[in-house]
């Protein structure tokens, strides 16, 4: 069982939350997808994997199979990190599509389909058009990650993609605030630390 702290979801964008699945929230680096069980837990926390599917995968897949897919997810994450670092701070140009060929190849393996079914939200009757997926192998766990990244590069203004200004923070986020003045991954994390550091600096400056 994975007993590490809950994953961080502060990016305001699923694709960047995936990059933040490895971080240093306090002083020690944490990789929430360092093994197969961690990958399943992170996907559940990110709401990219239904709990019943996660339980089914745990029951049917061998631990070494899941660990191998987790390794593929980490490699995918670091490839995408390089892409985001290269292009953040300015609108993404159409010619960047050539760099996204690895992601397109992964998306081509998707076995998604749609189905008409009763609405799942309580208190409302009727039908809904559900997007589903065939989970034939552990490698299918990469598909919700690929879709999150694909949606991100096609809908996000890369001008708003920023790195937290915390001294040792590695988290990134999409700045959707008014005026785009967000500086920290979270005020409860780096923002509060910066305030405390500034306060100590002022007190030191006031000493005779």
Higher-confidence position of 132 and 16:
16
Of all residues in the chain, the percent with pLDDT exceeding 90 is: 73
Instruction: Please check whether residue 179 lies inside any domain of the structure.
Output: yes
The arithmetic mean of pLDDT across residues 148-156, rounded, is 97
Who contacts 110 (Cβ-Cβ below 8 Å, separation ≥6)?
Answer: 133, 143, 146, 147
- What is the DSSP pairing of strand 127-133 with strand 112-118? antiparallel
* Token representation of residue 120: 């799942």
Of all residues in the chain, the percent with pLDDT exceeding 70 is: 88
The CATH number linked to 199 is 1.10.3300.10
Alpha-carbon distance of 165 to 114, in angstroms, equals 42
* Token representation of residue 187: 């005020």
* Token representation of residue 78: 């670091």
Residue 141 pLDDT more than 90? yes
Alpha-carbon distance of 206 to 208, in angstroms, equals 6
Q: Please give the tally of structural domains in the chain.
A: 1
In the structure, what pLDDT confidence band is assigned to residue 1 with cuts at 50, 70 and 90? very low
pLDDT in tens, 35-91: 999 999 999 999 999 999 999 999 999 999 999 999 999 999 999 999 999 999 999
Instruction: Please check whether residue 2 lies inside any domain of the structure.
Output: no
In the structure, what pLDDT confidence band is assigned to residue 207 with cuts at 50, 70 and 90? low
Instruction: Please check whether residue 56 lies inside any domain of the structure.
Output: yes
Residue with tokens 């409860």: 188
Alpha-carbon distance of 190 to 196, in angstroms, equals 10
Domain that residue 129 falls in? 14-206
Asked if 100 and 152 count as a contact pair (C-beta separation under 8 A), the reply is: no
Coil, strand, or helix at residue 42?
helix
Please tell me the least confidently modeled range out of 32-46, 113-127, 131-145.
113-127
Strand ranges inside the chain, DSSP E: 22-23, 30-31, 112-118, 127-133, 161-163, 172-174
Measure CA of the first residue to CA of the last residue in the chain; give whole Å.
55
Instruction: Please check whether residue 60 lies inside any domain of the structure.
Output: yes
Alpha-carbon distance of 188 to 137, in angstroms, equals 39
pLDDT in tens, 165-193: 887 888 999 999 999 999 988 877 786 66
Q: Specify the pLDDT at position 179.
A: 93
Instruction: Please check whether residue 7 lies inside any domain of the structure.
Output: no
Torsion angles phi and psi, residue 161, rounded to 5: -85, 125
Residue 131 pLDDT more than 90? no
């Amino acid at each position: 069982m994975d007993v590490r702290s809950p994953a961080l979801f502060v990016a305001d964008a699923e694709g960047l939350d995936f990059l933040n699945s490895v971080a240093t929230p306090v002083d020690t680096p944490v990789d929430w997808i360092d093994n197969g069980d961690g990958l399943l837990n992170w996907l559940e926390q990110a709401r990219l994997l239904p709990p019943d599917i996660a339980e089914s995968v745990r029951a049917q897949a061998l631990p070494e199979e899941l660990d191998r897919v987790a390794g593929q997810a980490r490699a995918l994450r670091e490839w995408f990190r390089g892409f985001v670092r290269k292009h953040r701070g300015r609108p993404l140009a159409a010619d960047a599509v050539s760099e996204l060929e690895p992601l397109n190849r992964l998306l081509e393996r998707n076995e998604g389909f749609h189905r008409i079914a009763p609405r799942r939200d309580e208190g409302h009757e009727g039908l809904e058009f559900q997007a589903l997926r065939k989970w034939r192998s552990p490698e299918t766990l990469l598909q919700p990650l690929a879709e999150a990244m694909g949606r991100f590069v096609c809908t996000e203004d890369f001008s708003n993609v920023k790195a937290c200004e915390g001294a040792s923070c590695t988290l990134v986020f999409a700045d959707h605030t008014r005026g785009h003045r967000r500086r920290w991954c979270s005020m409860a994390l780096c923002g509060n630390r910066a305030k405390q550091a500034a306060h100590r600096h002022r007190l030191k400056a006031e000493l005779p």
